[in-house]
Amino acid sequence: MGEPNHLRRVVLLWLIASAIATPLVVVLLGPNMPPGNLSSEASGQVFDNTVMLGLVTPVVLFILVYFAYVMIVFRARDGEALEGPAVRGHAGAQIWWMVTTSAIVLFLAAFGTYELFKDGSGGGQGPNPIADPPGKALQVQVIAEQWEFTYRFPTYGGVETPHLELPVGQLVEFHVTSLDVTHSFWAYELGVKADANQGVDNIVYVTPKRTGPFSIRCSELCGLWHGYMFDTGRVVSPSAFASWIQQQQATFAPITAKLPPYARTYFPKPQRRGG
């Protein structure tokens, strides 16, 4: 009796497992991928993560199926002390390996580049963004310092606020900067993450599409209280936002008059004691 075609068996098992598992994983796990659907950019990241999940499932399954097959079929029986056949190069397998892995990597490179160029994917794009979504954006400046984020609204008299609220359905243009060391503005459920560097205006776009809270954290180790540099923002209705920003303007009117004119970056004058 001749040796069965092991490769054919493994491929057949892998195809069957992939055909069953991949749709299940994509349909059941995909919608639960981070970071949720609070903004268009977050939804885009959920889609990207689902694509990645759909790609990685057959790859992982191939490894598992191959491993299981080898463990079962090629396991030495009791009393057997036989050498297996010599392993030799296999040009066909090598070509398939190179073609398949190259195709996956090139596809991911093209897919990732397209997704980034489409809307910025919620990432900081520096002072001259390539992905510039159409529409009038609400400008919000994120000012980081050790160890708190504050927010400035240039179209509302330059008022600065200790917390962040955003109107639903409105394109928002964040300008992220720092007054001291490097921080990173991470609004998790919004799918926004942008480095905050002193003297740099890091622009990131986001369009909230649902109302609700979102967590804000610093994601760049920035000193003693880095772990405490967090807050909770809220996406609210346009009318609630109008009411909130009006209240902020009234509350902080005394200090707004003493703030420097709105600018993309700030270079606090040399401190008398610091430095």
Partner 1 sequence: VSTFAKKMLGITLAVVAVGVVIGLYVSVYLTRSPQAIAASTSASGTQLTLATVPAAGSSDANPDWVSFFALAPNPNGHWIHTTTYRVPAHSLIHVTIYNYDSASGLRNPFLAQAQGTVGGTFVLDGKPTQAINPDDASHMFAIPQLDVVVPLLGVPTSAKNPCAAAPCSLSEDHETISFTFRTGGPGRFRWQCFVPCAAGWIFGTGGPMQTIGYMDGILEVV
Positions that interact with partner 1 (CB under 8 A): 143, 145-148, 150, 160, 162, 179-181, 223-225, 228, 251-252, 254-255, 258-260, 268-269, 271-275
Q: Is the Cβ of residue 139 or residue 146 nearer to partner 1 in the bound state?
A: 146
150 touches 160 (CB < 8 A):
yes
Q: How far is the CB of 202 from partner 1 (least distance, A)?
A: 18
Q: Is the Cβ of residue 135 or residue 199 nearer to partner 1 in the bound state?
A: 199
Q: How far is the CB of 107 from partner 1 (least distance, A)?
A: 45
Q: Is the Cβ of residue 10 or residue 259 nearer to partner 1 in the bound state?
A: 259
Q: Is the Cβ of residue 119 or residue 145 nearer to partner 1 in the bound state?
A: 145
Q: How far is the CB of 209 from partner 1 (least distance, A)?
A: 28
**Burial group, residue 176, by CB count within 10 angstroms (0-12, 13-18, 19+):** buried
Q: How far is the CB of 244 from partner 1 (least distance, A)?
A: 15
Q: Is the Cβ of residue 150 or residue 170 nearer to partner 1 in the bound state?
A: 150
The Cα 196–Cα 190 span in angstroms is 17
Q: Is the Cβ of residue 180 or residue 201 nearer to partner 1 in the bound state?
A: 180
Which residues have C-beta within 8 Å of that of residue 29, sequence separation ≥ 6? 50, 53
Q: How far is the CB of 262 from partner 1 (least distance, A)?
A: 12
Q: What is the DSSP string of 138-177?
A: EEEEEEEETTEEEEEEGGGTTEEESS-EEETT--EEEEEE
Q: How far is the CB of 192 from partner 1 (least distance, A)?
A: 21
- If DSSP codes are grouped into helix, strand and coil, which group holds residue 18? helix
| Intra-chain end-to-end CA distance of the chain, in Å | 84
Token representation of residue 2: 């001749």
234 touches 135 (CB < 8 A):
no
